[in-house]
Structure 1
Amino acid sequence: MGRHSSMPDEFGTAAVDPRPRSRGRSVALATALVLLVAAGTALAVRSDLLGLGDSCGDEVHLDVVASPDVAPALRAAADSAREQKVTSDGNCLDVSVTARDSYKVADVLRAGKGRSDYQVWVPDSDLWIQRVEQNAKATPVTAAGNVATSPIGIGMVPSAAKAFGWPQKTYSWTQLTGAAMQDDKLRLGAADPARSSTGLLALTKLAGAAKKSPAGDTQAAATAKALSQRTSDSDAQLMDTVARDDSGTEQGNPRRNEALVLSEQAAFAHNAEAADGGSLDLFYPKDGSPELNYPFSLVDEPSLSTDESRAAVRFMTLLSAPEGRAALEKHGFRTDGGASPDAVAARAGARSPQPYAEPTSQPPADEDVEETLGMWTITVQSARLTTVVDASASMGNWVPGRGESRMEVTKASMLAALSTFTPEDEIGLWEFSTLLDGDRDYKELVPTERLGDRKGSGTQRDRLSSAFTSLKPVPGGATGLYDTTLAAYKEATSSYRSGKFNAVVMVTDGVNEDPGSLSRSSLISQLEILADAEHPVPLIVIAVGPATDKDEVEQIAEATGGSGHQISDPADIQQVILKAIVQAGTKS
């Protein structure tokens, strides 16, 4: 078949790889190529512009920022292309690859502060692209296909692995991590899920499994708390914590980890450099391994020049060609259409019958990831939250399709959210309507105190559970939103606790209905004066039902660095709270 005149130049003289490729990735890449070429390279349709000859004219430069683990492989592919004088539209392809942590790049792009100094971004997971897309004002990122994958497992020093029956014995995620929670039997380290895709994907898997147990969310929070005791700030720092020998010298050091939650590629790289006795054996949990998927992404694609767009497409095709796949596999990555994973897995520390060749688990749902990250934030950092719940008469209205009132569903969701907090967290409860307590529209039902504190026969958690359960709509009560918001925010800022995540969570099903209250503009002005960047207390406002004003709650919340959310079903409150905590955490 001859070349199509609208596609980039071929990769040197390499023949087409005859081996079958994964249909999903091939279709994604092919579709991306067609769309990108059609959208950004309309001028390059004449054969004399394509540079189909053996020589190349000017250079076309492409800057790529990549996750530190995959950057060396991409750099090797770029160097090979430069040496072979690979062209894009007849111009020599000059690709520079810079290693940068994915979470740092995501935070910059999410802020949307102008065009970046690179055209392509290859993070270790599409989780980071999703984080960028959460902000409507973010720099746009266009994912065009995955260049490699790497499953996530648990690596152990040989003596620990032997004690666990490696490689013959297999475990689930909860069984492996459960061992680390029992009398410190296994010192298990992980990277911070807020900064590491590996840590977040593993924790999401663990949280999902824990929720199937009788303890549910409480068990998930306990698992997160246990992992947090040996958490490193980044994947690179995590690898520095493993015992460097198996002789017992460092193995007995309590500051050294005997096991790590890590990717297969990270184990591969570690073992390639480890001295005798310093390698890791790798467990692949039998309930499925999440995987890193390395999406090749264009940054602010509409602003790229035709040459830049086509150079990006050209480089992506190189990575999916035989030589590109070989470079990735040499650095410990799995590729579609490449060799079986045996060689990569073996060097990473896998042995049969560990299920290293089994399909990885399905990617987690976006809401599960957000909920897990929210749980991690409040579990590890500890939270101080004042919850403020609307008790106006309209909270007695029925929720369509549920057969329960808005208040009943709200209480159930708030109680579910309460179960995710630990004894170290401080939670309080207010209710509000109009003229609820003399001239005031609000009443403090339970002061904001530590959940584990015991007074009399019960704990703060017991008192809160009872108070939530007892909430009822006030007959004839209206929504005193503005005065309540200001009072709750004043109380929260005046009682700020350093070292904790401080916030006010308000749930309302209507707009302000108190004619004697201050105005919206006055409320916002006063909130802005009270807000302190050095002691942040974001206001999280959740508007439930059709009678609410999304613009209003967003304006009020954003005055404090918080966020406003509008939902139709109060059952979503728990998920929204956790998502809002994540969003507030990325701003601080």
Structure 2
Amino acid sequence: MGRHSLPDEYGTAAVGPRTRARGRTVAVATAVVLVVAAGTALAARSGLLSFGGACDGQTIRLDVVASPDVAPALRDAADHARRDHLTSDGQCLDTRVQAADSYKIADTLRRGGKGTSRYEAWVPDSSLWLKRAGLGGNATPVTAMGNIASSPIGISMVPSAAKSMGWPAKTYTWGQLTGAAMEGDKLRLGTADPARSATGLLALTQLGASAKKVGPGGDTQAAAMAKALSQRTSDSDAQLTDTLARDSSGTEQGNPRRNQALIVSEQSSFRYNESAPDRDGLDLFYPKDGSPQLDYPFALLDEGAETTDQRRAALRFMTLLGEDAGVRILQKHGFRTDDEEPSDALIAGAGGRSPQPYATSDSEPPTDKELQETLGMWTITVQSARITVVVDASGSMANIVPGRGQSRMEVTKASMLQALATFTPEDQIGLWEFATHLDGSRDYKKLVPTERLGDRKGNGTQRDRLSEAFSGLQPVPGGATGLYDTTLAAYEQSTSSYTDGKFNALVVVTDGANEDPGSISRSHLISRLQDLSDPRHPVPIIAIAVGPEADKDEVEQIAAATGGSGHQVNDPAQIHAVILKAIMEAGAKS
């Protein structure tokens, strides 16, 4: 699960769409302010960065790293700049463009690595990578200057599959399109790994939102869809199109290893169709509930080695991409340069056709929280989980949550049920509760054994048993928090029943510090946890402290002994999101 590592937050750092004239002005104005703030008073005295003038044979080297899909367009723009002797402060631009996956550059920048020191600018395919790059404590500073292009995300299909789905006359939501992939072999749908692909992540988030609008059970449906997609996932966008069935062979349509449809950007579909024979070109569905956008921000990298001339040269190259010549180059490569009036030739080249809603963009980009929850869901979907949940049932769980009018236990139960809905039938989940002397001399009681959610037990499934058990949790009057003995017992069982090929973890939810005077000490607990912990068979503890009386330092120390993580929430309703985030973080370490 090490490859599924993404941050707990995302955001759009760049300014508004580059395609609007006002957006371009804002981007350049922002650049001027930043350059001046960096001490370049010359820019303020000499007008708009003084980009004109003959170079007289003098050149300035500019190195740009870009997402593989946009790198060819940037290379063409760099060639144009050389041919036309484009200058910055009297020096001709010598721009070199290197292609690299956006997630790799973001991770390098987040760690503060020196691997990017040779680049002055970065053009990832989505602004979400800029947010990821800034999460590390030693992260290399990244400054977003504007967006150079955009490309909506849809579902491309080989002609026979598109025809069977009623293309182009019939329109679908994300949920309806991906739902077809769950009906046996009706539609074999592939995607790029959402942990490595902005296209995959944005589409999966939109898919989840679409499923939730259907009604009750939307979370479960979204998880099931993600599970189906995870069986046909490629490591990157570049590898995804290689999985398509080849119509011309006459046999590939029946090959179960080949995809009939792909979640791709419009530009990716355009690029594929450019080189494909007419009969093998893809047809593109634009979901009617909105197409999320790749927005291609142009960002400056600052590792302290760049000169003012280099930064100003990078800004000059960015402005070229907004001028007529740059716009033509981007459009030639299948990128949108005007979201409000997309090129008819571009739409046709990508496989779109009216009445498909290709001009309808996603008006509300996903929030940081939505992206975080999507990644958590994906992590536990790609690799089935084996998790035992241990919930505090001490008397203090009856305390009312401020502003909610419900007890901590009632809100905790609702949040845990919400988390349960994100797991699939293949996942194994169990439940314990704990309070002092809850079961004779023991501080804990095993309510539901850790078993597969899809297994039937009597008249219902393991999921039904867990739902009933969660709903039945009640605070024990007078019960205190028997945290230490319970945690050790649960961890001993979790490690002894470790299951290969699954994400194993122990989730402990408590609203207080240990209150059992007869229990083992904290130091003894931590020592025993360290002894039981095995890096070859990791079982991280995800410890969640609920409310102001809980001891955050305590749960952090306990969790750290197993390679897990401790968290504190003031509102138990946050438990669901914290569990998903913690699973994602723990999975990234394994």
TM-score normalized with structure 2 length: 0.89
CA distance in 2, matches of 1:550, 1:38: 44
Shift of 1:47: 4.7
User: Alpha-carbon deviations, 1:288-338, whole Å to 9, x = none?
Assistant: 111111122233466644334333323222222222222211111111489
For 1:122, give the aligned amino acid: V
Name the SS for the 1:181 alignment partner: coil
The match for 2:354 among 352, 355, 364 is: 352
| Equivalence for 2:4 | none
Task: Write out per-residue CA displacement over residues 85-117 of structure 1, whole angstroms, 9 at most, x where no aligned residue.
Answer: 333334443332221122222333334445633
Q: Structure 1 412/339 Cα, relative in aligned 2: closer, same or farther at 3 Å? A: closer
Task: Determine if the alignment matches structure 1 residue 62 to structure 2 residue 74.
Answer: no
Match of 2:195 in 1: 194
CA contact (8 A) 1:115 1:139 kept: no
1-structure distance, mates of 2:171, 2:539: 45
Residue pairs, 1:67-216, within 5 angstroms? 67-113=67-113, 116-117=116-117, 118-213=119-214, 214-216=216-218
Q: Equivalences for 1:235-250 in 2 at 5 Å?
A: 235-246=237-248, 248-250=250-252
SS class of match (2:406): coil
Q: Measure how far apart 1:571 and its partner are.
A: 1.0
SS at match of 1:445: strand
Cα distance in 1 for partners of 2:536, 2:501 equals 12
Paired with 1:312 and 1:485, the residues of 2 have a C-alpha distance of 55
Q: How does 1:264-283 map to 2 (within 5 A)?
A: 264-283=266-285
1:22 aligns with one of 15, 20, 23:
20
**Aligned with 1:467 (options 465, 469, 473):** 469
**1:464 Cα deviation from its structure 2 partner:** 1.5
1:422-473 CA-to-partner distances (Å, cap 9, x unmatched) read 1110111122233434454333222211112233333222222222122122
- Point out the more displaced range, 275-284 or 55-64: 55-64
Say yes or no: does 1:387 pair with 2:389.
yes
Residues paired across the two proteins, number: 569
Q: Check conservation: 1:36, 1:309, Cα contact below 8 A.
A: no
Q: Distance in 2 between matches of 1:24 and 1:512?
A: 59
Q: 1:42 to 1:407 in 2, by over 3 A?
A: same
Q: Note the C-alpha offset of 1:523.
A: 4.3
Larger deviation, residues 344-353 vs 161-170: 161-170
* CA distance 1:52–1:172, change in 2 (3 Å): closer
Q: Deviations over 1:475-521 (max 9, x none)?
A: 22333334433333333223221111111212122233344555545
What amino acid does structure 2 have at the position aligned with 1:106? A
Give the letter for the 1:408 counterpart. Answer: E
Report deviation, 1:147.
1.5
For 2:181, what is the secondary structure of its paired residue?
helix
CA contact (8 A) 2:389 2:506 kept: yes
Paired residue secondary structure (1:167): coil
Of residues 286, 289, 301, the one that matches 2:288 is 286
Tell me what 1:538 maps to. 540
Alpha-carbon displacement from aligned partner over 1:19-75 (angstroms, at most 9, x marks no partner): x95267436524531342133343544659968541257544333222111111112
Q: 1:16 corresponds to which residue?
A: none
Against the structure 1 CA distance between its residues 543 and 139, is the aligned structure 2 distance closer, same or farther, given a 3 Å change threshold? farther
Distance apart, 1:236 and its partner CA: 1.6
Aligned-partner residue type, residue 88 of structure 2: S
**Aligned twin of 2:261:** 259
Tell me, in whole angstroms, the C-alpha distance in 2 between the residues paired with 1:355 and 1:291.
14
Checking the alignment, whether the CA contact within 8 Å between 1:172 and 1:285 is kept in structure 2 is yes
- Greater Cα shift, 135-144 or 286-295: 135-144
Aligned to 1:485, what secondary structure does the other structure show? helix
Farther off after superposition, 488-497 or 23-32: 23-32
Equivalent pair of 1:57/1:90 in contact (CA under 8 Å):
no
2:470 and 2:200 map into 1 onto residues whose CA distance is: 34
Alignment counterpart, residue 490 of structure 1, candidates 480, 489, 492? 492
**1:412 positional shift:** 0.9
Find the residue that maps to 1:355 and give its secondary structure.
coil
3-state DSSP of counterpart to 2:254? coil
Residue number in structure 1 paired with 2:38: 40
1:225 CA displacement = 2.0
**Partner of 2:14 in structure 1?**
none
Local SS of the residue matching 1:414: helix
Q: Is the 8 A contact 2:552 2:567 kept in 1?
A: yes
Instruction: Give the secondary-structure state (helix, strand or coil) at the position aligned to 1:432.
Output: strand
Q: Larger deviation: 337-346 or 318-327? A: 337-346
**1:199-228 CA distance string (max 9 Å, x none):** 221111111111122322121122222222
Change (3 A) 1:464 1:30: same
SS at match of 1:578: helix
Q: Distance in 2 between matches of 1:231 and 1:428?
A: 29
Contact kept, 8 Å, 1:153 with 1:262, in 2: the verdict is: yes
In the superposition, relative to structure 1, how do residues 274 and 403 fare at CA in structure 2: closer, same or farther (>3 Å)? same
Q: Which deviations, in whole Å up to 9, do the C-alpha atoms of 1:256-304 show, x marking residues without a partner?
A: 2221111100010001111242211111111211111112223346664
The CA distance in 2 between the partners of 1:110 and 1:241, in whole Å, is: 32
SS of residue matched to 2:116:
coil
* CA distance 1:574–1:328, shift in 2 (3 Å): same
Q: Residues 514, 83 of structure 1: CA spacing in aligned structure 2 closer, same or farther, 3 A cutoff?
A: farther
Give the CA deviation at 1:348. Answer: 0.6
2:342 match: 340
Structure 1 unaligned regions, length at least 5: 1-19
Q: Which residue of the other structure, out of 297, 322, 327, is the alignment partner of 1:325?
A: 327
Tell me how far apart the structure 1 counterparts of residues 340 and 418 of structure 2 sit (CA, whole Å).
46
Residue identity matched to 2:499 = R
1:365 Cα deviation after fit = 1.4
Do the aligned partners of residues 102 and 449 (structure 1) sit closer, same or farther apart at CA in structure 2, a change above 3 Å counting? same
The equivalent position to 1:369 in structure 2, one of 353, 358, 371, is: 371
Residue in 1 aligned with 2:589? 587
Q: CA deviation at 1:383?
A: 0.6
Cα deviation, 1:125-175, whole Å, max 9, x if unaligned, reads 122233344444544433222211101111111222223222222222222
Q: 1:419 corresponds to which letter in structure 2? A: A
Measure the CA separation in 1 of the matches of 2:166 and 2:454: 39
For each residue in 1:213-257, what CA deviation from the matched residue of structure 2 results, as whole angstroms up to 9, or x when unmatched? Answer: 232212112222222232222212210011223463322322222
SS at match of 1:277: helix
Structure 1 length as normaliser, TM-score? 0.89
Q: Secondary structure at the match of 2:508?
A: strand
| Compared CA separation, residues 47 and 201, structure 1 to 2 (3 A) | closer
Change (3 A) 1:500 1:154: same
